[in-house]
Structure 1
Amino acid sequence: MATFDYRSSKRRSADQGVPSRFSKENEALRSSARNVASPFTDEILNAPNPKKFSMPIFILFDGTTDPIDHIYHIQLKMALNTNNDSLMCKCFPTSLAGPALNWFKNLSQGSIASFQDLCDKFISQYYRNKHPAKDVSSLFAMKQHEDERLQAFLTRFNLVKSMVMECHPSTAVQAFKLAMNRGTPFYTSLVVNTSKTMDELNERAADFFCLKEEEAANSRKMSIISTKEKSKAKIRQK
């Protein structure tokens, strides 16, 4: 005989009122959202979104970093939807935080009619955060410190090179060679066989680092073996 579960019955009764309660709350949220002044035009707000679109996770911009880098980040995340102008606009505010989000909320209602309008206003607001472009002379001004390891210097050199707007591949390699400490094994290998591009140089450096790590590991093994042999020799002498 089936038994009556009072707790299950009570839970079902409570759940029956959930849909209506949530529908009222959702309608209230939708109503309040419609009343919020938006800087986007009605064409953008009313444009339909793709059916299978999933919102990417953006790095939040709080007003302290490069605005052009952030726009590039948005475009990378939205690579499959960059042609959907209204969607690009509606997703952009979700990448803002703190003062930057307040800036967006204070834009004039209906003042943005395209993603280009939004980018122009965004860059104009945070232009001072833009990384200053460097020229080739900044690469030739670099110098590896006496106590700076090759891997750390290569990372520092690549960072500066990424800020140089125009630089011939062989010019960057020449600047790196001039900046290196003389007499090191990697410098000697570059003199004997010069790389044509920084990509090729970075690959050679990666192989060089792996070789050095392997040599260091073998050296440690040999040291351990030598220590054990010396201990055995002492025991035999005793």
Structure 2
Amino acid sequence: MATYDYRSSERKSADQRIPPRFSRENEALCSSAKTVASPFTDEILNAPNPKKFYMPVFILFDGTTHPIDHIYHIRLKMALNTNDDYLMCKCSPTSLDGPAFNWFKNLTQGSIAGFQDLCDKFISQYYGNKRPAKDVSSLFTTKQHEDERLQAFLTRFNLVKSMVMECHPSTAVQALKLAMNRGTTFHTSLVVDTPKTMDELNERADGFVHLEEEEVANAWKTSIISTEEKSKTKIR
């Protein structure tokens, strides 16, 4: 008994409704897409993709940020699924945007044979975006603002510290003590019992951050209650 393919019939009827001009343009676009030169070698382009693979969502690189940071970001995202070299090559261009994507399109056809080749060309192109490394003195010039809360200050201090190439933990602790506002409970704690490692420092800082946040929340609640009491007094 013959079966009737409804889906095939629907596709045919839909194709019949497409004007001839649009059909010709679509065929031309598909044909030109197949002839677009790729910087990747045939081995990369023809390599089979894993059956179970989910394309990660990358932070887009537009040519203005640090190239090494972006490569590190790609490696971390891809490591969640696979470390296949050819697949990393195929996925990486989806993280490029604007001028950076135009740079990739203009690479010589077949000039990239692996992910390391792509990384080398990418870093060479955007090496000028590299952030200059800071020395230890930048830590000692970082100061906590008068009304700056502990969490915000620690975030800013650790950002500067991350850009220092080599910094001994004891040096970072001493710089933090000098950078903090005098008289705070956390500063007093550091003076009385100075941590010996950054892990110990961060663990203690977390406790004082939670304490400060709780004090701020209690002060806010007290202010609200005081305002409500004043309003009730005026009404009476």
- Establish whether TM, by shorter chain, passes 0.5: yes
Q: TM-score, normalised by structure 1?
A: 0.79
Shift in alpha-carbon separation, 1:89–1:227, aligned structure 2, 3 A: closer
Task: Give the corresponding residue for 2:62.
Answer: 62
Alpha-carbon distance between aligned partners in 2 of 1:38 and 1:14, rounded to the nearest angstrom: 37
Task: Give the corresponding residue for 1:52.
Answer: 52
Task: Give the corresponding residue for 1:5.
Answer: none
Task: Give the corresponding residue for 1:139.
Answer: 139
Q: How far 1:81 moved relative to its partner?
A: 5.3
| CA root-mean-square deviation | 3.3
Task: Give the secondary structure class of the aligned counterpart of 1:38.
Answer: coil
Q: Superposition pairs for residues 156-235 of structure 1, below 5 Å?
A: 156-221=156-221, 224=225, 228=229
Q: How far 1:184 moved relative to its partner?
A: 1.8
Task: Give the corresponding residue for 2:119.
Answer: 119
Bigger Rg over Cα: 1
Identify which range, 127-136 or 144-153, moves more after superposition: 144-153
Q: How far 1:25 moved relative to its partner?
A: 10
Alpha-carbon distance between aligned partners in 1 of 2:53 and 2:30, rounded to the nearest angstrom: 20
Q: How many residues align?
A: 223
Return 5+ residue gaps in structure 1 as ranges: 1-10
Identity of aligned residues (%): 77
Return 5+ residue gaps in structure 2 as ranges: 1-5, 19-23
- Answer whether contact 1:75 1:82 (CA < 8 A) is retained: no
Alpha-carbon distance between aligned partners in 1 of 2:114 and 2:82, rounded to the nearest angstrom: 12
Q: Deviations over 1:91-149 (max 9, x none)?
A: 11010010000000000111111111110110111111111122323212322233433
Shift in alpha-carbon separation, 1:103–1:214, aligned structure 2, 3 A: same
Task: Give the corresponding residue for 1:4.
Answer: none
Identify which range, 191-200 or 83-92, moves more after superposition: 191-200
The 4+ residue runs of structure 1 with deviation greater than 4 A are: 11-14, 18-22, 24-31, 219-223, 225-229
Alpha-carbon distance between aligned partners in 2 of 1:20 and 1:227, rounded to the nearest angstrom: 70
- One-letter amino acid of the structure 2 residue matched with residue 78 of structure 1: M
- Answer whether contact 1:56 1:77 (CA < 8 A) is retained: yes
Q: Deviations over 1:48-95 (max 9, x none)?
A: 111111111111101011111100000000014563111111111010
Alpha-carbon distance between aligned partners in 2 of 1:203 and 1:112, rounded to the nearest angstrom: 46
Alpha-carbon distance between aligned partners in 2 of 1:69 and 1:191, rounded to the nearest angstrom: 36
Q: TM-score, normalised by structure 2?
A: 0.80
